[in-house]
Structure formats: structure tokens, C-alpha cells
Amino acid sequence: MTRSSDDRSFRIGTGAFAALVLLIVAGIAFELTRQSTLSIAKFGLKFWTTKVWDPVSGDFGALPFIWGTLYSSVLALLVATPIALGIAIFISELSPRMLRQPLAYLTELLAAIPSIVYGLWGIFVLVPIVRKVEIAMGAKPALGVGMLAAALILAVMVIPFTSSVAREILKNVPATQREAAYALGATRWEAIKVAIGFGRTGIIGAVMLGFGRALGETMAVTMVIGNSPQISASLFKPQYTMAAVIANEFTEAADELYLHALIEIGLLLFIITVGVNLLSRLLIWSTKRRAQTIVVIPVIVAEEVPA
């Protein structure tokens, strides 16, 4: 074999692995669709928009779960984003050099905690605190479990992802940008704002990464959200998410239609996650075209649903 043909086989080999990724994604979409045909045929698009979830009479609508997933994720994002960016700014710009590594390591450690452990912490610590708040506010019934507890636990789980990506982005902003600001009489805070402005597309990406995480998170949310399919803007009412209903009911799905309805929820979650991904990429791409800033496009991963 000649050396140049080595190059060719190397290219073909690695190319095959790359193609495998596409194949897996397409395969997931195909399989989810194939295994939910009964439900798709029976409910059609109404599956997205109806609120009834009645396994006994075989009537299924996914809206409460879609609502619960999106609402809890958006709330988590609202709580997590400022905190995560604050952590990223502190570590990359302000903290004493000695503290930098340990702090970065500790935030990343948050991401390594298994989600079932978060769930236990939620049940034993967070839920009683939320219940006390509810009682103090006169909310009825004061259960503790519900949307607020879920959003808070999601926020804690999302923070390490958003803050590490944001930190990396701030670190990659060229020193010349900060120098330019300082040389024009900028204060420390003003120079940091310049760095944030320079990395803004990447920071948007970091926030979207957190959103993707929150959408697919299953275990911890299932343990604290209350698992009741209802659509409500209330922070205290128990609700349900797409991932949670699959995890809870999959093993109990006795008849075919029930099973297919659950798998269709998985398909919806897949579509929504891909949609959010595309949307964030479009967003990043359009800001990038306006100003050529550094761009880090993180992959948004929804945690796989245990089946």
C-alpha cells in the first residue's frame, strides 16, 4: 500500500464514523415514528393540542406535558442564566487567580451529580422549603411539590453547563478587546461589558445549551413536579413534563395505544429539542453575520429518557 492510499482509507474510515452519527439520528426519528403509528393515526395533530390524558378510555392529548416541559424549562432558564453568567464573569474576570481553578472545578462538579441525587435533595430539602413559602404566602393546597420546586431544581442543574461554556467564551475573548476599552478610559466593569459584547453570540449559545438540558431532564423533575397533567401558570400547582410521564407510565402501559401515545410524546420531545437547536443555531448564525465575533455553537443534548 502506498502512503497516499493510507490517507484515503483514513479519510473513508473517519468519514464512515461521521456518517454513523447522521444514521443514528435518522434512526431514532424513524423508530419513534414507527412505534407510535397507532397514536399518530388515531389523534393526528390533535395530539399536540388536546388536554385529556385518559389511559382508561384510551383518549390521549400531550398539551399538558408540552406545557409543563416548556414552562419549567423557561422558568429554570430565567433563574439560572443570571446566576450562571455571574459565576462565569466572576471566575474569568474578577476572582483571584488562586481561586479560579477550584471554583471552575466546583461548578463543573455540579454537573457530575447524578440526577437521582438531585431528586432526593429536592424531596428532602427543597420541597419542604417551598412548602413553607407556600404556607407563608397562603397558597392552597400547600404541597411543596409542583412547578416552582421543579424549576428551581432544574435551574441548579443547568447552571454548571451555562456557566462553563460562558466562562470558556469569556476566556477566548482576545486581550486586545479589553485593552482597547481600558485605553479609552474604561473601568473594570466597562471592559468586562466589552468582553461580553464580543462573545455575545457564544453566550446566547451557552444559554440555549442550558435550555436544552432543562427540556430533557427527567429524574429530578419527576420526583418534585407533582406529576399531575394540568395546564396552569401557577408556580405552586403540581404539573407534569413530557420526560416525566414517559418515565412514570412506560412500564404500566398495558395496551398498544397507550404505549404508542407515550412513544409519540418521546417523538414530540425529540422534535422540540431539534427545533430549539435549529432556532438557536439560526440565532447565532444571524448575529454572527452581523458582526464577526467568536462563535461557539454548543450541541444541545436532551438527556435520554429511560425506557
Partner 1 sequence: MNDDPKISVRDFDFFYGAAKVLHGISLDIPARKVTALIGPSGCGKSTFIRSINRMNDIITDARGKGTILIDGTDVYGSDTDVVELRRRVGMVFQKSNPFPKSIYDNVAYGLRIGGMRNKRQLDDIIERSLTRAALWHEVKDRLHASALALSGGQQQRLCIARALAVDPEILLMDEPASALDPIATSKIEELIYELKDNYTIVIVTHNMQQAARVSDRTAFFMLGRLVEEGDKNTIFTNPKEKMTEDYVTGRFG
Nine-digit cell at 108?
A: 463543573
Nearer of residues 248 and 293 to partner 1, judged by Cβ? 293
Nearby residues of 280 by Cβ (< 8 Å), 6 or more positions away: 204, 205, 208, 211, 300
Write out the binding residues for partner 1, residues 15-44 only, by CB under 8 A. Answer: none
Q: How far is the CB of 297 from partner 1 (least distance, A)?
A: 17
Q: How far is the CB of 280 from partner 1 (least distance, A)?
A: 19
DSSP for residue 60:
E
Write out the binding residues for partner 1, residues 195-254 only, by CB under 8 A. Answer: 197-198
Using CB under 8 A as the binding criterion, the count of chain residues that bind partner 1 stands at 22
Write out the binding residues for partner 1, residues 276-295 only, by CB under 8 A. Answer: 290-293
Nearer of residues 140 and 289 to partner 1, judged by Cβ? 289
Q: For residue 170, which of 149, 199, 140 has the smallest C-alpha distance?
A: 199
Q: How many CB atoms lie within 10 A of CB 278?
A: 11
Q: How many CB atoms lie within 10 A of CB 92?
A: 21
Nine-digit cell at 243?
A: 420526560
Asked if residue 101 binds partner 1 (CB under 8 A), the reply is no
Q: How far is the CB of 129 from partner 1 (least distance, A)?
A: 41
Nearer of residues 57 and 176 to partner 1, judged by Cβ? 176
Asked if residue 97 binds partner 1 (CB under 8 A), the reply is yes
Nearby residues of 277 by Cβ (< 8 Å), 6 or more positions away: 208, 212, 299, 300
Is the bond leading into 229 cis (omega within 30 degrees of zero)?
Answer: no
Distance CA 55, CA 52 (A): 9
- Contact (CB, 8 A) for 222 and 248: yes
Binding string, 163-202, against partner 1, x = CB under 8 A? -----------x-xxxxxxxxxxxx--x---x--xx----
Nearer of residues 99 and 183 to partner 1, judged by Cβ? 183
Nearer of residues 35 and 177 to partner 1, judged by Cβ? 177
The amino acid that residue 287 corresponds to is: T
Q: How far is the CB of 272 from partner 1 (least distance, A)?
A: 32
Q: How far is the CB of 82 from partner 1 (least distance, A)?
A: 23
Give the three-class secondary structure for 54: strand
Binding site residues, partner 1, CB under 8 A: 97, 174, 176-187, 190, 194, 197-198, 290-293
